[in-house]
Amino acid sequence: MKVMNTKMSLQLLVALGLISGSFACSCLDMTVNERFCTGNFAAIIYVEGGQEVVDFERISNSFIAILTRNDRIYDIRILETLRGNIQQADKNHLKVGTHSCGVTFQVNKYYVITGHASDGQPLTTNMCQFIRMFDSHPAGSFQVPTCPAPPRPVFKLPDLIISTEN
């Protein structure tokens, strides 16, 4: 009986190890400049405060709390937009996950970050984006990398056949 319990315990440990390993964050291998050019914005921010909140998902016209993940919402001030257009986003808040790709920001610190901005939504970022902390405003101490222009979409119009016959 003891041998069976030991064997089952070992199998359980292996299974748990495989499950926990599958939730690790994995980022593409990029240079600092490449990482700076990810996302649709880059900005210098000041973190004023933060709190952890639970996400709610809308299902069948009723709100049900689904504990899929907690997010941390930081109160921020945008000091300078370095790249992108964040005019329609919620520029007073930064949302980061507490999951494996999540990031913890320190209050009363300055950061240069990249991330994603969506209309009416808080700015978002994660550990796969560019994030650099500063004790004081980084003006003059941070050199903004040059990002390549995004490729323009190429559309091929269909050939038009013009007939002069009726």
Binding residues: 25
The Cα 140–Cα 162 span in angstroms is 60
Instruction: Give me the phi and psi of 33, to 5 degrees please.
Output: -65, -40
The Cα 110–Cα 68 span in angstroms is 30
Q: Which residues contact 147 (CB under 8 A, 6 or more apart)?
A: 33, 36, 37, 83
Calculate the dihedral angle through the C-alpha atoms of 97, 127, 78, 53, rounding to the nearest 10 degrees.
Answer: 10
DSSP-derived secondary structure letter, 14: H
Point out the annotated binding site for Zn(2+).
25
